[in-house]
Amino acid sequence: MPLLDVRDLKTHFKTDDGIVRAVDGVSFTVEKGKTLAIVGESGSGKSVTCLTIMGLNARANTITSGEALFNDRDLLKLPSDELRKVRGQEISMIFQDPMTSLNPVHSIGKQLREAVQLHASVGKQPANRRAVEMLKAVGIPRAEQRLGDYPHQFSGGMRQRVMIAMALINNPDLLIADEPTTALDVTTQAQILKLMTQLQRDFGSAIVLITHDLGVVAETADDVLVMYAAQPVEQGGYQDIFYRPHHPYTWGLLNSLPRLVTEGTDLKPIPGTPPSLLRPPSGCRFHVRCGYTMDVCPKVEPTLEAVPGQAGHSVACHLEESVKQHEASNLLSQLKTGAKA
């Protein structure tokens, strides 16, 4: 029984210019205690997917369909005060920019206590104790003294730790992290990722990690979902995505990494830019930028189909299996040798 089972999720926003199809048919599962990475670029829909599950989209002008089954309930159909109880207690979310995600005029102690007291009627003292416990767990030195401090008195990395503490304070079953390390320095990123994996072990929570950094995915993910233009293009275990990628977009992402290219040669970026979600391209949305486009691609939208012989691995692409496998093995050898370049 997966912890979270999302089926054919769609989120459309009504705007003055038309309907923006921000998420257009995403399905995935998250197992207890495991990590799912959702990978994509800006506009891929990865953030909106999670905001929809959490019910954090603006209610006006938003049309949502599909199911998000969590602990036997469909989150998308829950009345708002029920959903509110789930947020922060059974599912928590942390966001990208730690500098702005904390209220500057309340102390972090107050904000941590709020997280506790929203879901349990406890007094100030027990809430404080719990807050200190969590601050210690995330590695903030002198936790008791720092309860009364304000966000501006912490550095970026520290603030992100505080956010993580706040998210895990009620021991949620699932933590959604939306690009949690993108705004941080590389050494701080390493610290935060290490912290998150350790906390996952200690608390047993599942993690949905949204990112555009394939390196982060390689280090932390059990399962991977690659999204493009509001749709899933490839899904599978981490080894499927890195060692047996089957979609031209995934190949493009891997090829864009400087690490994989031998010194002196140019990178092989994906030409063009992500498409508009108001009027996405017809047929396969990636066909405009794909280097392997065939006649059928602009006409027929590919559906997510299982890759023969690889359980749990599915891809949405019209290319023949043999072509995909060929490319996959090319990339694999590049990965292994290029890694030494």
Of the chain, the end-to-end C-alpha distance in Å amounts to: 43
Of the residues 156, 280, 281, 283, which one makes contact with another protein according to CB under 8 A: 156
Nearer to another protein, 1 or 339 (CB): 339
Cα dihedral 334, 336, 337, 341 in deg (nearest 10): 100
Question: If binding is defined by CB under 8 A, does position 119 make contact with another protein?
Answer: yes
Q: Is 293 in the site for another protein (CB under 8 A)?
A: no
> For another protein, which is the closer residue by CB, 147 or 214?
214
Q: Is 101 in the site for another protein (CB under 8 A)?
A: yes
What does R_g of the chain's alpha carbons equal in angstroms? 21
Percentages (nearest 5) of helix, strand, coil residues in the chain: 35, 20, 40
DSSP secondary structure letters along 112-166: HHHHHHTTS---HHHHHHHHHHHHHHTT-SSHHHHTT--GGGS-HHHHHHHHHHH
Which range binds another protein by CB under 8 A, 61-69, 85-93, 279-287, 319-327?
A: 85-93
Q: Which of 88, 180, 245, 248 binds another protein (CB under 8 A)?
A: 88
What part of residues 217-256 is at the interface with another protein (CB under 8 A)?
217-219, 238-239, 242-243, 252-256
Instruction: Let me know the angle formed at the C-alpha of 171 by 168 and 175, rounded to the nearest 5 degrees.
Output: 55
The Cβ-side half-sphere exposure at 110, using a 13 Å CA radius, reads 10
Query: Residues 5, 31, 67, 97: which binds another protein (CB under 8 A)?
Result: 97
**269: contact with another protein by CB under 8 A:** yes
Site string for another protein, 173-212 (x = CB under 8 A): ------------xxxxxxx-xx-----------------x
Q: Which of 9, 65, 1 is nearest to 30 (CA)?
A: 1
Comparing CB distances to another protein, the nearer of 93 and 284 is 93
The only residue of 5, 33, 114, 136 in contact with another protein, by rule CB under 8 A: 114
When asked if residue 216 is in the footprint of another protein (CB under 8 A), the reply is yes
Among 266, 295, 309, 322, binds another protein (CB under 8 A): 266
Nearest to 87 by CA among 133, 55, 46, 48: 55
